[in-house]
Amino acid sequence: MTNSVQEELATTMKGRDFLMLQDYTPQEIRYLIDLAIDLKQKQKAGVEHHVLKGKTLGMIFEKSSTRTRVSFEVGMYQLGGQALFLSRNDLQIGRGETVWDTAQTLSRYLDGIMIRTFAHRNVIELARGATVPVINGLTDLSHPCQALADYQTILEHKGRLEGLKIAYVGDGNNMVHSLLMGAAKLGLHMSVATPEGYEPDADVIRQTQETAAGTGSRIHVCRDPREAVADADVVYTDVWASMGFEAEQKERELAFASYQVNDELMKGAKKDYLFMHCLPAHRGEEVSEGVIDGNHSIIFDQAENRLHAQKAIMAAIM
């Protein structure tokens, strides 16, 4: 990417929301990844990069979090700004104030808003009402910050993205939705294996396949984990019962019993495969200890890169 293109993107991305990867072009996503890597190198070298000095991010949490809260809060500090933690109990939105009124009010105080919530419509409504950039920290439909960090991590380990195959085994949840769109935008091939009834959202699959047609990516959804994992460069899984679905834990354990990522399944992947998991993980359920704690696992590189990827998002749009 030339300097002139980078300068143009740095200008055009200011003030935008970061709600889903679908909203960004392949070039814009790659710009964010490259910016994340640059900010990571600066942080490791002790080089000050206070590009958001004097700015403030409001962080609305309707879902609890470890990685999201700490990485955004530390990220704003490293960028020279300040983050405010706002739980549902801290806001009038928890007592009936509309999302629109909350967005309008917070926009008068803040330079950006991050929200981690349940229904995706909450993020959409917040962005419509806000006059400052809104960042999707997680919804039931998508997890774009994690996916951006994941593709940064793959690039760092593999040296490229285009043409690699990523296999996802497990629940067709918000995580796989964002991974699918990222793969289609960036030219990776992706295979997803889920039990019947737990497939990714049909509209997401359709949009992803339409995008893939223009980038040379191949998107495949199947039932057989072995089919999905065959010759994979990256194998990814997530918990069987995401936050909000805990009541279905026993039912899901039965449905996903043959979908554990373990050493036997990994025999079908490439010899130098990477194992990824967005965490938190349940060892012995969706993944065996031998895989998640083995030499191919890069789960904590992923976790670290949440910090750097989110710093890139904030630096680019705020």
Question: Which one is catalytic: 67, 116, 252, 308?
Answer: 116
Of the candidates 146, 260, 302, 310, the residue annotated as catalytic is 146
Amino acid at 238: D
- Grouping H, G, I as helix, E, B as strand and the rest as coil, residue 270 is coil
Rounded to whole angstroms, the Cα distance separating 95 from 84 reads 20
Active site residue 226: no
- What pairs with residue 275 in β-bridges? 235, 297
Catalytic residue among 143, 177, 189, 277: 143
Catalytic residue among 30, 252, 306, 308: 306
Q: Is 6 an active-site residue?
A: no
State the catalytic residue, choosing from 278, 302, 308, 310: 278
Helix (H) or strand (E) holding 136: strand 134-138
Catalytic pick among 111, 201, 238, 277: 238
Distance of alpha carbon 160 from alpha carbon 71, whole angstroms: 25
Taking alpha carbons only, the member of 32, 39, 31, 29 closest to residue 1 is 31
CA atoms within 13 A on the CB side of 56: 9
**CA distance to 8, 31, 41, 89, 155, per residue, from 2 (Å):** 10, 11, 20, 47, 19
- 146 classed as catalytic: yes
Active site residue 152: no
How far apart, in whole angstroms, are the C-alpha atoms of residue 315 and residue 309? 10
Q: Which residue has the tokens 């554990």?
A: 260
- Identify whether 220 is a catalytic site residue: no
**Any catalytic annotation for residue 160?**
no
Residue 199 near residue 223, CB atoms below 8 Å: no
Cβ(110)–Cβ(88) below 8 Å: no
For residues 221 and 291, what is the distance between their CA atoms, to the nearest angstrom? 23
d(CA 294, CA 276): 11
Residue 95 DSSP class:
G
Which residues are known to be catalytic?
116, 143, 146, 238, 278, 306
